[in-house]
Amino acid sequence: MKKVLLLGDSIRLGYQPFVESGLAGQAEVVAPEENCRFAKYTLWGVNLWIGELGKPDIVHWNNGLWDLHHEAPMVETLTSLEEYLETLSRILNELKRTGARVIFATTTPVPDDAVGRSNAEIDRYNAAAVALMKVQGIEINDLNHLVKQDLTNNICEDRLHLSDLGSQRSAEQAIKYIAQYL
């Protein structure tokens, strides 16, 4: 049975149980117990988590919402676009060392009245990340597009995280991408 490693922030934590149940009997799904937060944190932990959870065959991974957050009174994003791309490249290098098939999931959108993040920045970071991943031959799971199709029902009351429905829908799409490599 192939091992699937899920990496990512709280969006991943939301869809993870649905991926686990959806792939039960088809794959061993593993993930860090903790939130992988921003890209630098994921870079710091990626080899620790792989050492703890075992070498994966498939990795489904996202980072972004923490990176482009503006924590008041900070004016700029936590992570500049240039630093974000450099860190994604470094994470990708570590994941490629495992020989695993890597799938990158785009950063999910927020409602227009969200605090600390904007869809204009999310779209800019996603476009740059997608361009980087395409050059590297990495498949893209466009969770941003999926969630935008029904933003009202896919996002919960906190204006950031996925609702149960949004998590289920994201899991279904993640499973489609993962299943082609099982």
pLDDT along the chain (182 residues), means of 10: 98 98 98 98 98 98 97 93 98 98 98 94 98 98 98 96 98 98 98
Report whether CATH 3.40.630.30 matches the domain 2-179: no
Please, which residues have CB within 8 angstroms of residue 4's CB and are 6 or more apart in sequence? 19, 23, 27, 28, 29, 30, 56, 57, 58, 59, 60, 178
Q: What is the pTM of this model?
A: 0.97
What is the model's pLDDT at position 155?
97
What is the model's pLDDT at position 127?
98
Going by the DSSP 8-state scheme, the letter that residue 108 receives in this structure is: P
Instruction: Break the chain into its structural domains and give their ranges.
Output: 2-179
What is the model's pLDDT at position 178?
98
